Amino acid sequence: MRRGLLLLLLVLLPLTKRLLLQTRAEVDSEGSVRFIFSEHVGVVSAICWGLEALKSKNWTGKVLHMARHDGPLAVLKEIAAARTLLRLPAKHKALSNLEQYVAKRVEMMDYPAASLGSDVVWRKRLS
């Protein structure tokens, strides 16, 4: 059953990636970028640790938390750390795809800096 799900994910990953890249051109708000990133993380996590595995859910939550609070560079470090733990080429490829996705969007995904900026703007409006 798990093997079948993994194979299904491997078959659907290129299609999903193509669909996400098509919709990315239409996306311009921070929330939409975050949503697409979380979809990528979920797919990669399912490939690496299994769809319903506790390790998968924990890793997904950890990476999304890091993206929100620590920024994209911390996410890239976590992806690199995960790659050292896994041996299968398909898992390495999934992590590499996620790494490339994040690396191309470092400025867009710098949520801590963006929220700091919005706090500064908000404070100026109040004064």
Query: For the chain, what is the radius of gyration of the CA atoms?
Result: 16
Please report the pLDDT score of residue 118 as a whole number: 47
Nearest-angstrom CA–CA distance, 59 and 127: 41
How many angstroms separate the CA atoms of 26 and 6, rounded?
30
Which of the two residues, 43 and 120, has the higher pLDDT score?
Answer: 43
Residues sharing a CB contact under 8 Å with residue 66, sequence separation 6 or more, in sequence order: 74, 75, 78
Q: What is the pLDDT of residue 1?
A: 58
pLDDT, tens digit, 9 for 90 and up, residues 53-92: 899 999 999 999 998 888 899 999 999 999 999 989 999 9
**Residue 96: predicted pLDDT:** 95
- pLDDT tens figures, 12-26: 566 555 545 444 433
Decide if pLDDT at 103 tops 50.
yes
Residue 18 in tokens: 């193509």
CA atoms within 13 A on the CB side of 11: 6
Say if CB 30 and CB 111 are below 8 A apart. Answer: yes
Q: Give the start-to-end residue ranges of the domains of the chain.
A: 2-126
